Chains A and B, each alone.
Chain A
Amino acid sequence: LAKTTQPISMDSYEGQEVNITCSHNNIATNDYITWYQQFPSQGPRFIIQGYKTKVTNEVASLFIPADRKSSTLSLPRVSLSDTAVYYCLVGARDDKIIFGKGTRLHILP
């Protein structure tokens, strides 16, 4: 399982675009990159998943460079309700899923 490194915390303001970068230098060929969001006392919520280049859904975009050693989760025009912990995970299908410490994102008014 590839180890991931992401910032412990980030602050931003409402209406801004937020980019959270995750490093995964030892990513394997079969590994996908997945991001989850977690609010206090709730289970994590799947946000987005990708293998290479760019993936976009109604919530976020995920940018993955050609070497796949890092990825960036982009949240457009954040609001106060986006304050949460964001986890970056790397793994192949049916791997056991290991969560790191995540990034605590704090959105300020």
Chain B
Amino acid sequence: KAGVTQTPRYLIKTRGQQVTLSCSPISGHRSVSWYQQTPGQGLQFLFEYFSETQRNKGNFPGRFSGRQFSNSRSEMNVSTLELGDSALYLCASSSTGYEQYFGPGTRLTVT
């Protein structure tokens, strides 16, 4: 089975812009979660989608949003980018609700 894929792998944006990241889960996995990882804050949970519905949410401002499509693919959007949004954004999928399978991540740099 193919693993979790994320596109793009690298991205450079300017403050104030918005960005959309994409995640394709492992075939058959209906849960997709998003995480932000920075050196200072570590791995932080953003949100989880299951069957196109947001099931869990972390403590991030409303500038961070996501959605899931009927084929389980998910997108994450960040509006009005800030310098502090520079991070590795990770997507993970799950079929059981227990173990997560992570993608390689998207490295976002905001200048």
Residues of A within 8 A of B (CB): 32, 34, 36, 38, 41-46, 49, 87, 93-102
Contact = CB atoms under 8 A, between A and B. Distances in A.
A12 to B, nearest CB: 23
Nearest to B105: A43
A45 B98 CA distance: 13
Contacts of A99: 35, 42-45
A49 B99 contact: yes
Contacts, number: 57
Contacts of A42: 102, 104-105
Contact of A41 (B58, B92, B105): B105
Contact of A96 (B42, B48, B90): B48
Contacts of A95: 56
Label chain A's interface by main secondary structure. loop
Determine the interface band of chain B, counting residues with CB < 8 A from chain A: 20 to 34
B88 A41 contact: yes
B103 interface: yes
Given A97-B45, A97-B100, 8 more contacts: A36-B100, A43-B102, A44-B92, A44-B102, A46-B100, A93-B98, A99-B42, A99-B43
Nearest to A96: B56
B45 A32 contact: no
A38 B98 CA distance: 17
Contact of A93 (B33, B45, B97, B102): B97
Among A44, A45, A49, A101, the one with the most B-chain Cβ atoms within 10 Å of its Cβ is A44
19 contacts: A34-B98, A38-B43, A41-B105, A41-B107, A42-B102, A43-B103, A43-B105, A44-B92, A46-B99, A46-B100, A93-B96, A94-B50, A94-B97, A95-B56, A96-B57, A97-B33, A99-B35, A99-B42, A99-B45
